[in-house]
Amino acid sequence: MKFDKETIIVFCICGIVLLAWNPLCKYMGWVKEAPPATAPAQQTAPTKEIIPTQQIVPAKPTSIVPAKATSSVTKVIAEKVSILPEQKIENEHSSFIFNPNNGILEKIVFLKYFQEDYKTPITLDNNIAPGALAVFADTDWTINEILDNSADSSTKTYRLVRKMTNVAGKTFKLTQQWQIESDYIMNYSVGIKNTGDSELEFSELSIMGISLLPFSILTLDTDINRETNAIDYCMVNGTLGYVATNDDDDDFFAPAKDKIRWCGGNNKYFASLILAEKPFDKLLAKRKEFPKLGKYAKYYLAALGGSYSNISIPSGKEETFSFKCYNGPKIISQLAKFDKKAPEIMNLSWGGPMDWIAEKLLSFLVYLKGLCGSYGWSIIIITVMVRMLFWPVTQKANKSMKKMQKLQPQMKEIRAQYKDDPQTMNAKVMELYRTEKVNPLGGCLPILMQIPVFIALYSTLNGAVELRQVPFWWIQDLAKPDTVATIFGLAINPLIIAMTGLMVLQQRLTPAAMDPAQQKMMMFMPVVMLFMLYSLPAGLTLYWTVSQSLAILQLVLQKRMDTDNNQLVKKAA
């Protein structure tokens, strides 16, 4: 098709809008700006609710409060108890730092995942009171003596034993032990031994979860696509619950309908989960809202733990509660080791079969990376394989559209002849289809069959932590746009620009079964796609660009085959 004056003007207007849109949005305040790259991490993280070790003053103790309270919580420490330094256990993936004075997991440092600067390890150190993996009850208690406070680097175990007294004057021994089991999984046990001469009772005993910020706040990452921040739980009947941290109170604090097998939170790339050997009787959901930060809208720090009801321990007896904790990136194989239902928190796509397809594609992507050593090449290989899988279907669709294209002159005559009689016109068109044995949907149905796979692959590449900070060719990070320069505030992203050009070429080569007006409208689609998808992660645009290239190759090959076949027919005649 030739470009007339009106078409050229529209293209120019679209180009001007594209160039001016980003600066205009920033000027008007319609889009958020990333925090300064030089800003320290603590400026984007909320103030801790727990009181650090150095702030715990024996002369002015603070009592623990019930789970429903929102004030800052620490345990009472008797004056004779010394303030102890932090303890640490670690493996090659994570470092866990504990506060022995209040029995909490103070922070987790991920040694192989970094903030946007590529050098500062991602750290979870902001937790809602009373602190990560804290054990607490509905009544106050006092720490009388610390009996054991030992970390063993050889077994990757930390053990904390404290002698306690509750408000009723009953004594008990509280034992907490953490041991790293594997890459991102840690075993945690809580033992309560009744050292008094009468029954020890807790109407409610709780374990606090680990808090997670939105990923962009946690790491200062810019250009995060589809940020998520939610809490998840799995009931003993296998049903999963999901609540976004910014949902209203009725949804966020809604009680579960059954006992809880595991619970926790996740953001776009990381998850923190607690699995209880003895299921929790109910959920313990807490969150703290933070106001607008720079150009960020308000956000939440949330944690999800669990509670046991009506615990009774006879004199001289001990009750032990065992847990398994997952703290790390949302990697399917790692989550599956934690629990067979845990990979469902990936939420890669739109649920149901789409999630299943996306998870299988992600697992296959990781497998291909193990073979070729590059996620970039893995994306290219998997895109080629998907295109080859649907090659016959696409071929059939192209042939159908070509048949429809040949009928356009006859259809034009029918429309002109019966323009005042739509019913007769439609009947004649359908009769033409039957005579020529053409299915008007033949070009659409095969393409519709491909959509679920393409959407699942799109979701896979968008949600894979494996692609974050992974370079490929000129691309610095497959999880971000492949920006090579910035001109007048507009980022230059070569892949999306190349994809747009390939879309235009594909449209020129594709048999058109539409009238000229519809064809002209379709020519604007690449510009619309360029405008909408300009800031997509490079992993996605790499996939789309390779896919477009293969689609064009198929059209060229099919056209050449048709030409060769026509020449053979002429020679035979």
Most confident of 246-255, 367-376, 406-415, 523-532: 367-376
Bond into 314 cis (ω within 30): no
Does position 56 have pLDDT exceeding 80, yes or no?
no
DSSP letter at 561 equals H
User: Strand, coil or helix: what is 183?
Assistant: coil
452: exposed, middle or buried (C-beta count within 10 Å: 0-12, 13-18, 19+)?
middle
Orientation of helix 445-463 relative to helix 391-406, angle to 10°: 140
> Domains along the chain?
41-347 (2.70.98.90), 374-564 (no CATH)
Does position 359 have pLDDT exceeding 60, yes or no?
yes
Report the relative pairing of strands 141-152 and 76-77 from DSSP bridges.
parallel
Across residues 371-375, what is the average pLDDT? 89
List 109's β-bridge partners, or say none: 95, 123
- Cα–Cα distances (Å) from 504 to 18, 323, 390, 551, in that order, read 17, 56, 22, 12
Q: What is the pLDDT of residue 64?
A: 27
Across residues 38-43, what is the average pLDDT? 35
Give the pLDDT confidence of 260-314 residue by residue, as tens digits: 999 998 888 899 999 999 999 999 888 888 876 655 567 888 888 999 999 999 9
- Of the pLDDT bands very low, low, confident and very high (cuts 50, 70, 90), residue 396 is confident
- Cα–Cα distances (Å) from 277 to 104, 321, 425, in that order, read 20, 7, 71
Across residues 401-418, what is the average pLDDT? 73
Select the more confidently predicted residue: 85 or 49.
85
Q: What is the pLDDT of residue 15?
A: 54
Buried b (16+ CB within 10 A) or exposed e, 89-102: bbbebbbbbbbbbb
Strand order from edge to edge, sheet including 270-280: 76-77, 141-152, 157-166, 171-180, 185-194, 318-329, 270-280, 260-267, 229-235, 240-244
Q: What is the pLDDT of residue 273?
A: 94
Q: 572: which residues sit within 8 A by CB, 6+ positions away?
A: none
Q: What is the pLDDT of residue 37?
A: 35
Select the more confidently predicted residue: 35 or 518.
518
Per-position DSSP letters for 225-239, written without gaps between them: SS--EEEEEEETTS-
Select the more confidently predicted residue: 152 or 11.
152
Token code pair at residue 259: 């006992």
